[in-house]
Chains A and B, each alone.
Chain A
Amino acid sequence: MKGNFIDNLPKVYGIYTGGFIGFIIIMAIAEQMGMTAKAIGIAFVAFTVFIYALIGWLSRTAQADAYYVAGRQVPTVFNGMATAADWMSGASFVAMAGGIYFKGYGYMALLVGWTGGYVLVASLLAPYLRKFGCYTVPDFIGTRYGGNLARFSAVVVLTVASFTYVTAQINATGTIASVALDIPFQYAVYVGLISILLCSMLGGMRGVTWTQVAQYIVLIIAYLLPVFWISNKMGAGFFPHFMLADEVARIGELEQQFGFVKNAAADLKSVPKGLAGITKAHSAVNATPWAFISLALAMMMGTASLPHVMMRYFTTPSVKAARKSVGWSLFFIFLLYSSAPMLATLSKLSLIDPNLPTGIIGKTFAEVEAIDWYQNWNQANLMFISDFNGNGTLELNEFFMGGKAVVLATPEIAGLPYVISGLVAAGGMAAAMSTADGLILAIANAISHDVYYKIIDPKAETAKRLLVARVLLVVIGFAGATIAAMEIQGILGSVIWAFDFAMSGLFFPLVLGVWWKRANRQGAIAGMLGGLAAGAWYLVWVRTGGSGFLGITQLTFGIFGSAVSLVLMVVVSLMTAEPDKATQKMVDDVRVPSGKSILGRSH
């Protein structure tokens, strides 16, 4: 191939996409020829992970700016894809459609929150931080406000938020690896971890960027193909996003007809942990405005404070490109997020509509228990039925399912070939791996660049800095995997907490750093540490039986944390001296795209 790698990107990824589709077709043929379901699952996960590892190896580097910011030459659209993969976690891929399936409108606040945040990223932060020329988010805080304490506080907030998030992602890679490769979860977690490290260790941000683009392509094919296929197979419409209104209305009708019967507590005890029944309306508004808005708001402000997202925009060639790139990121995220409610609708209707051949409500228990897919997913502990009222037929309130089953089992229920299930496993793996990579890299880079290089040993040579960065990457990865192996919380809970922690400590120090010249070091430190402490206190208080106030729950504690952060930051800043002339000049320079970046190309 002629020319340099960057110019050839469309061609490289075009060939890659074609190759992947070819692989799917080969697997489909192999299935027809008698390849077992298990072998297909292994082939999908092993093949894709091998490709990512290869990209990771090809992207190895010994230069600081390539390791930290991919040499700042990632084109707009490709950075958008990488950000989308970085952003969409195992939770988005595996659990989101399930959440919508069970909780309906109230849950969909997350869809609005996890997309609307990008407007804040584009307008308030990303272009300015790109102009700044920092390697990490604490790099901005440390330079804008000055002093090691400010820098260190930012590292603390970053680590708390990102580490909360990363354990959930390693957990998700472990879950998928354990199902697809058929090995125990405790070992699968480490298989997942090694796959993650293969992408990031040699090439740092450069390696992660090019693997994330590859992972985005796999995950979006794996998500959209089944949605379109199922919709067509059910006769619901060839383009589900525009054509499922009748299905949504039909679910409403069936809900009316069946009613939401409340089960007795004693009956519910027999249901395996983690499974739930349908207890909330599908499309009706079932949350108070504040419950919906507060959750969406917390997720939006959290989005704008999460360092692993923000650092993706440090890799674009220019400020202008950083802005456009945020738009592309959201476009690529939109493709998946707008499909999740469609999948939830199709999945729910195919299970509960007695007029459809796949519907199980209203059938006798003997009939349902004889269905192949029911047996498989019941064995996998993701489906359960029990005849509470003893009438012999299955009622809506007697059917229980795990949240993951909506994505994992719907293709099988709809009668799609197993090759699709293998593809979905590969997609889930790609989603969890790409997010885990971004997060581990964000933490390791902050500690190696901001704590080790900027605070402990400013004279360290590049080779030594990068060695420290890589050692930290492995250490943090193993720490995350060890905690993930203990299986403390569910995937989604800890993801939402990460957003709340990030917004508690970082949202206002970042935003005011650009938009309020008067903000100074003392104010920023008070805002970061005070906000984080207040948010953490509120979480612990509510978790230990506290009643909370203003309807702020353990999922939205960041609203309280960030409010405290704002007040502290403004009050303390105004009580202390204003920033010196040099700092004010720095803020002025950040506000215009032209001219040199504040920090040098290599620093």
Chain B
Amino acid sequence: MSNQQKHWEKTRGLLFITLAIWFIFSIGIFLFGAEMNEVTGPFGYPWTYWFTCQGSLGAFVILIFWFANRQEKIDEEFGFSEREDE
């Protein structure tokens, strides 16, 4: 397998992990919205309510930065990162 194929395989792996986490916070939680809202969550808000107005939103922000860092590492590992002056 060529260097580029390996790079793409890892990139795809990262995509699946990212989308899986994305799925939990954008869809997974809200499948059980009614049940989870009975529970008191962070800062005393009901769980589902807190996720819709802050939790999921914040999780997405963190997820994107995490994804960007991981992808940069993958690019470096296979020698595909950009030169700074390009």
To the question of whether A and B form a pair in one complex, the answer is yes
- A105 at the B interface (CB under 8 A): yes
- B contact residues around A116 at 8 Å (CB): 22, 25-26, 56, 60
Contact with A along B19-32 (1 / 0, CB 8 A): 10010011100111
Asked whether A241 is an interface residue with its Cβ less than 8 Å from the other chain, the reply is yes
Which A residues lie within 8 Å of B4 (CB)?
Answer: 588, 591-592
List of B residues within 8 angstroms of A105 by Cβ = 33, 48-49, 52
Q: Is A123 in the interface zone, CB < 8 Å from B?
A: yes
B60 to chain A, nearest CB (A): 5
Assess whether A334 is interfacial by the CB under 8 Å rule.
yes
Interface of B is mostly: helix
Cβ contact within 8 Å between B57 and A591:
no
* Chain B residues, Cβ within 8 Å of A244: 45
Instruction: Give the CA-CA distance A324 to B69 in the complex, in Å.
Output: 8
Residues of A within 8 A of B52 (CB): 105, 108-109, 111-112, 341
- Supposing A243-B43, A285-B33 touch, asked if A119 and B15 sit within 8 A by C-beta, the answer is no
Stretch of A44-52, A209-217, A288-296, A376-384 lying at the B interface: A288-296
CA distance A337 to B45 in the complex (A): 17
Considering only CB atoms, which chain B residue lies closest to A325 in the complex? B68
Q: Which of B8, B27, B71 contacts A297 (CB 8 A)?
A: B27
Of chain B, the residue at the smallest CB distance from A252 is B46
- Asked whether B18 lies within 8 Å of A118 as measured between CB atoms, the reply is no
In this complex, the member of A108, A123, A319 whose beta carbon has the largest number of chain B beta carbons within 10 angstroms is A123
Structural contact, A245 and B22, CB atoms closer than 8 A = no
Are B37 and A245 in contact, with the CB atoms below 8 A?
Answer: no
A592-B7, A593-B75 known; A123-B15 Cβ under 8 A: yes
CA distance A111 to B52 in the complex (A): 7
- Check A119–B18 contact: CB distance below 8 A: yes
Does the CB pair A115–B67 fall under 8 Å?
no
Chain A: which residue is nearest B71 at the CB level?
Answer: A323
Kindly state whether residue A120 has any CB partner on chain B within 8 Å: yes
Contact B64 A111 (CB under 8 A): no
A327 contacts the other chain (Cβ, under 8 Å)? yes
Q: Is the CB–CB distance between B33 and A300 below 8 Å? A: no
Q: Decide: B65 and A318 in contact? CB cutoff 8 A.
A: no
User: Which residues of A72-121 are within 8 A (CB) of B?
Assistant: 100, 105, 108-109, 111-113, 115-116, 118-120
The residue that A119 contacts in the complex, of B46, B64, B81, with Cβ under 8 A, is B64
Mind listing 22 A-B residue pairs with CB under 8 Å? A108-B52, A113-B26, A122-B67, A123-B14, A246-B44, A285-B37, A289-B31, A289-B32, A292-B30, A293-B30, A297-B26, A318-B82, A320-B75, A320-B81, A323-B71, A327-B64, A330-B64, A338-B58, A341-B52, A341-B53, A592-B75, A594-B75
